[in-house]
Amino acid sequence: MRVDWRARADTLLLLLLIASDVLATEAAFALAYLLRFPRAIIPFGQFHPPHFYYPLMAILALTVPLCLGMVGLYRSTRGTSKTDAVFRLVKGLTLAVVFAMTLSFFAAALQHSRLVVGLGWLLAMPLVWTGRLLLWHVEASLFRFGVGTRRVLVIGAGHLARTAVQRLSSPPSIGYEIVGLLDPVYEPGHTIDGVPVLGRPHELGQVIRLQQVDEVIVAMPDIPAAALLDIITTCDRERVAVKVLPDILQIMVSEATVEYVRGLALVRMRGSALVGFNRVAKRVLDLAVSFVVLTLFSGPMLLIALLIKLESPGSVFYIQERVGRDGVSFPIIKFRSMIQDAEQRTRRFWTTQDDPRRTRLGAFLRRFSLDELPQFINVLLGEMSVVGPRPERPMFVEQFRRIVPNYMERHREKAGITGWAQVNGLRGDSSIEERTKYDLYYVENWSILFDIQIMIRTIFEVLRGRAY
């Protein structure tokens, strides 16, 4: 009965999302019509009566949910990236308007005002997004009170399972409750990151029934195929959703493609996506973004420099050798946020939360990543990119290359001010192995849209002020 109520709640949310999307789109096109015709706010061109647009509006009511569903906007929103949803929304609404225009022309043979269509499309995006934000806020509030949360069982207890537990447990607003782990090594009763081990994988069916599990996540990258098949069969029998959490490197391998040459199957593994024109496009994007940032923030940067000089003795900038593309070192530029010669005095090289070496101004700068603004100079000089693997010091590179598999592969491209690992919460003294996997994934899957998505997510991360 409990699961049935949750299914009904999910269905209700889906219906509310569809209704919100359709109503927001209809309102956008109605507003566009009012701006163009009766109100004469844009007074030129032939007048169209309202009924002229009825066929278009009716067809939009069908194409909007269809196209937004095609781009995945009606799947579960638990913990998904809002910036990714924005890109999907633009794509889905564009498809919906194009389809609606085409179908309405064949249905009624009417030529609609291009200005109305363009305005309607532009207005639909913020209106639809606002409606979705309101519904997501309501959903997140219900999750905080335990309403509609999904009870999750994780199979595994290694680094991948620990990552799953950490990400899905916080914040509670994403709607997951980790009830326990199943593992072939740890004894029942043992706790990992505060989550109890409930038994062995072969006890899956019993644990699902006892714990009223809604979803099973398999987080064992080396699990045998036969064991995985048994888990899937058990979950199907218990009517429980099952998902497999792959290792980042496994995802990269899964992107391999097969080419047939005279009947010979050749598997082409993905290499760096930054070759040829892509490399030129990324450089143009870097120059444009760094020029805009340095222009807009030139005044605040001068003020920060003055405040640093007034607060503590020493230089304004902190310049340190870092390793970039192809293992070549370069001087990275930052605003000084600690006492002068902090490392030499304390012999500490990693920054930690509430680091006592920070100045009062430095703590503020680091919290909102303002100390990294001068790195856009490195970007202009071609030493760094806006997005890429974060650069490390030579002493750490030598250490990591010996203990982290494929670590030097991340140096195939320029280092970045921000990166895929950082927007996924891996920064500071986080696991270098995990950061390397995310860096390699970025290098393999680069695109202009991927860079823009990371930049937007970085802005939101900076505004949250969680850096140190």
What CATH number did the domain enclosing 199 receive? 3.40.50.20
Mean pLDDT of the 283-312 span: 91
Record the tokens describing residue 140, joined without a space: 């997140």
Structural domain containing residue 48: 2-144
By the 8 A CB rule, do 392 and 428 touch? no
93, 122, 144: which is the final residue of a domain?
144
Distance CA 213, CA 266 (A): 43
Is residue 369's pLDDT more than 80?
yes
Tokens 């269905």 correspond to 11
Is residue 86's pLDDT more than 80?
yes
Distance CA 436, CA 248 (A): 10
Residue 74 amino acid letter = Y
Residue 133 amino acid letter = L
State whether 282 and 312 are in the same domain.
Answer: yes
CB atoms within 10 A of CB 421: 27
Record the tokens describing residue 60, joined without a space: 């939009």
- Residue 252 domain flag: no
| pLDDT reported for residue 265 | 45
Mean pLDDT, all residues of the chain: 80
CA distances to 219, 382, 389, 413 from 394, rounded to whole Å, are 34, 19, 15, 16
pLDDT-derived band at 294 (thresholds 50, 70, 90) equals very high
pLDDT-derived band at 422 (thresholds 50, 70, 90) equals confident
State whether 437 and 310 are in the same domain.
Answer: yes
Distance CA 423, CA 81 (A): 10
The residues with which 300 forms a beta bridge, in sequence order, are none
State whether 32 and 162 are in the same domain.
Answer: no
* pLDDT > 70 fraction of the chain, expressed in percent and rounded: 80
Is residue 261's pLDDT more than 50?
no
Report helix, strand and coil shares of the chain as percent, to nearest 5. Answer: 55, 15, 30
Q: For residue 33, what is the enclosing H or E element? A: helix 2-36
State whether 139 and 168 are in the same domain.
Answer: no
Distance CA 392, CA 108 (A): 63
| pLDDT reported for residue 270 | 53
B/e letters for 277-292, b = 16+ CB within 10 Å, e = fewer, are eeeeebeebbeebbee
Distance CA 395, CA 64 (A): 54
pLDDT in tens, 112-124: 677 888 889 999 9
User: For residue 331, is the peptide bond before it cis, meaning its omega torsion is within 30 degrees of 0?
Assistant: no
127 half-sphere exposure, CB direction, 13 A CA radius: 21
State whether 8 and 137 are in the same domain.
Answer: yes
What 3-state class would DSSP assign to 320?
strand
Higher pLDDT among residues 353 and 454, named by residue: 454
By the 8 A CB rule, do 83 and 457 touch? yes
Is residue 3's pLDDT more than 50?
no
- Residue 426 domain flag: yes
What 3-state class would DSSP assign to 176?
strand
110, 144, 178: which is the final residue of a domain?
144
State whether 43 and 100 are in the same domain.
Answer: yes
Distance CA 400, CA 434 (A): 12
Residue 431 CA, chain-centre distance (Å), reads 19
- Residue 369 domain flag: yes
Is residue 346's pLDDT more than 80?
no
- Residue 156 domain flag: yes
| pLDDT reported for residue 342 | 63
| pLDDT reported for residue 41 | 52
Mean pLDDT of the 49-54 span: 74
Q: For residue 414, what is the enclosing H or E element? A: none
- Provide the whole-model pTM: 0.61
Distance CA 16, CA 124 (A): 17
Mean pLDDT of the 15-25 span: 92
Least confident of 30-39, 259-268, 315-324, 441-450: 259-268
pLDDT-derived band at 64 (thresholds 50, 70, 90) equals very high
CB atoms within 10 A of CB 316: 14
Distance CA 217, CA 161 (A): 9
Mean pLDDT of the 238-253 span: 70
| pLDDT reported for residue 376 | 94
| pLDDT reported for residue 192 | 83
| pLDDT reported for residue 260 | 47
By the 8 A CB rule, do 206 and 198 touch? no
- Residue 270 domain flag: no
In 352-425, beta strands by DSSP E: 385-387, 416-418
Mean pLDDT of the 172-179 span: 76
Distance CA 137, CA 142 (A): 9
Mean pLDDT of the 237-253 span: 71
| pLDDT reported for residue 194 | 83
By the 8 A CB rule, do 236 and 172 touch? no
Mean pLDDT of the 402-423 span: 84
| pLDDT reported for residue 467 | 66
| pLDDT reported for residue 418 | 92
Is residue 259's pLDDT more than 80?
no
State whether 160 and 199 are in the same domain.
Answer: yes
| pLDDT reported for residue 1 | 37
Mean pLDDT of the 150-176 span: 80
pLDDT-derived band at 143 (thresholds 50, 70, 90) equals confident
State whether 330 and 443 are in the same domain.
Answer: yes
**Phi (first) and psi of residue 179, to 5 degrees:** -85, -25
Is residue 195's pLDDT more than 50?
yes
pLDDT in tens, 201-241: 888 889 999 988 888 888 887 888 888 888 888 888 888 88
**Phi (first) and psi of residue 392, to 5 degrees:** -115, 165
By the 8 A CB rule, do 64 and 148 touch? no
| pLDDT reported for residue 423 | 87
Instruction: Give the dihedral sign, CA 86/90/91/95.
Output: positive
Mean pLDDT of the 403-420 span: 84
Record the tokens describing residue 207, joined without a space: 């644990």
90, 122, 144: which is the final residue of a domain?
144
Tokens 């805009």 correspond to 292
- Residue 53 domain flag: yes
State whether 138 and 170 are in the same domain.
Answer: no
Is residue 24's pLDDT more than 90?
yes
- Residue 47 domain flag: yes
| pLDDT reported for residue 263 | 46
Q: Give Dmax (Cα) for the chain.
A: 79
State whether 301 and 196 are in the same domain.
Answer: no
State whether 227 and 302 are in the same domain.
Answer: no
If one counts the domains in the chain, the total is 3
State whether 293 and 409 are in the same domain.
Answer: yes
Distance CA 67, CA 338 (A): 52
pLDDT-derived band at 2 (thresholds 50, 70, 90) equals very low
